[in-house]
Copies of this chain bind each other. A is one copy, B any other.
Amino acid sequence: MTQIYDRVALIGLGLIASSMFWAIKRGGLAGEVTGYARSAQTRETARKIGLCDRICESAEEAVKDADLVVLCVPVGAMGGVAEQIAPYLKPGATVSDVGSVKAAVIQAVGPHIPEGVHFIPAHPLAGTEHSGPESGFATLFDNRWCLLVPVPGTDPAAMEHLRALWEGCGAHVDEMEAEHHDLVLAVTSHAPHLIAYTMVGVADDLRRVTDSEVIKYSAAGFRDFTRIAASDPTMWRDVFLTNKDATLEILGRFTEELFALQRAIRMGDGEHLFDYFTRTRAIRRGIIEAGQDTDAPDFGRGKVAR
């Protein structure tokens, strides 16, 4: 139990913020955690389930006297929230976020941060397909990565505090430059999500394959896609709109490769297919060796218990 901040404010109370709260409580990382969500219903739910020490009726009230303010709203809403809370931020406080895109957030939030307040963008690489205040759990960040994306001239002490908070939440912390972050995430997360959304949409469109059959016989492959494609629509809309260039670049590459494989199928080129599939197996082995997943039949998710 090492308290890192006296007061933490969470703006937006979805999966990430609620998981942060439970992880902060688990670790005793903050004296008080305040919370605010735009929706009255979300605030009511939060109060009912004991999410945050104090739920405030405005973002201004929530950030007052906070040493750390974490913006946990969709990427497209970050700029507006930053503008709104800017006048109420405590001098010396740190503002951070949990957005899946970093360059656009820096551009939207940065200009609103007052002199004397630190701004350290961050991105915890963790999530489930669930959303809302009730979806969070204390172990979400355990053994996952949290990327800090500091802008030039960031205060080392403020960095150390934020790093300690995320480590206290169970995460491994790494630093990365914003543009590079957005490209890496386009590969590992953004493009795969759009692809999964697309495939699920195609299945839904097919009239000859009735819904019930697609659902009934979804055990292989497709089921994993539907899980990815069940993620929060607002969050993902904003991700694609704000990481447009990197996502479109990766999708362009993807389409090229897919066409090459389609051609191999059409031409009956089994060797091409076999070699390709053999190569992709190695990547899976790398992921298991890197400890980002396990080889066990429950795919390492048994530990993600509430």
A residues whose Cβ falls under 8 Å from a Cβ of B: 76, 125-129, 137, 144-145, 147, 174, 183-185, 187-206, 208-209, 211-231, 233-234, 236-238, 240-241, 244, 247-248, 250-251, 253-255, 257-258, 261-262, 265-266, 268, 270, 273-274, 276-281, 283-287, 290, 292-293, 297-299, 301-302, 304-306
List residues of chain B with CB within 8 A of the CB of A302: 298, 302
Given contacts A191-B202, A202-B257, 19 further A-B contacts (CB under 8 A): A125-B220, A126-B219, A185-B220, A189-B222, A192-B220, A195-B258, A197-B280, A200-B283, A202-B250, A202-B253, A203-B283, A211-B283, A215-B290, A215-B292, A237-B270, A240-B265, A240-B273, A255-B255, A297-B306
A226–B270 CB distance below 8 A: no
List residues of chain B with CB within 8 A of the CB of A204: 279-280, 283
Assembled-state Cα–Cα distance A188/B221 (Å): 7
> How many copies of this protein are present in the complex?
2
List residues of chain B with CB within 8 A of the CB of A197: 261, 276-277, 280
Q: Is the interface of A mostly helix, strand, loop or mixed?
A: helix
